[in-house]
Amino acid sequence: VCIIELDSVDLAYYERVRGGNTNFDLTFVFKQFLDEDSKIADCWTRITAIDMKFYDNVKEVLQKSKLVQFEGTTQINWNNVLKDYIKNFDDISKDGGWEVIFGANDDEEEDEDDEDEEDDDFKGASSGSG
């Protein structure tokens, strides 16, 4: 059992998400990472080897909480990422925060996919008139 107060979380990151994997990891970065007195290693936690059959359910629950989420195919060295984020905080924050580091978050990618599908439908409807 894992209990995490989501109000204290700044980011959820799904690691090792790729076809063929039987499990994935989920890392939570806590908002305290920006506090001067915080130790970087205490500012994140990783839950490892979660069975892929739980991926959709976990993602759905976290999306309902409005938590910022990203995913990738590899594990991340969070100590280095957080140190770099803090070091370049002004530039990163001004340019879009976590999106500067990880690209569009999962919710935005889904919205873009929906738009692409609509564009494809539109193109398909108009392509026969030439």
> Can you give the pTM of this predicted structure?
0.80
Q: Which fold has domain 6-129?
A: PH-domain like (2.30.29)
Instruction: Taking residues 23-50, report their average pLDDT.
Output: 97
Nearest to 77 by CA among 29, 112, 20: 29
Q: Provide the pLDDT for residue 121.
A: 43
Residue corresponding to tokens 């939570």: 28
Distances 30 to 19, 96, 103, 113, 125 between C-alpha atoms, Å: 28, 18, 20, 29, 47
Q: In what order do the strands lie in the sheet with 23-30?
A: 44-51, 23-30, 9-15, 69-71
Q: Provide the pLDDT for residue 107.
A: 58
Instruction: Taking residues 104-120, report their average pLDDT.
Output: 52
11 pLDDT above the threshold of 50 = yes
Rounded distance, CA 87 to CA 95, Å?
A: 14
Q: CB of 38 within 8 A of CB of 32?
A: yes
**Domains of the chain: which residue ranges?**
6-129
| Whole-number average pLDDT of the chain | 85
38 pLDDT above the threshold of 70 = yes
Instruction: Taking residues 1-29, report their average pLDDT.
Output: 95
112 pLDDT above the threshold of 70 = no
H or E stretch covering 46: strand 44-51
Dihedral, CA atoms, 73, 8, 105, 23, nearest 10 degrees? 30
Q: What is the pLDDT of residues 41-81, one digit of tens each?
A: 999 999 999 999 999 999 999 999 999 999 999 999 999 99
Q: Provide the pLDDT for residue 104.
A: 78
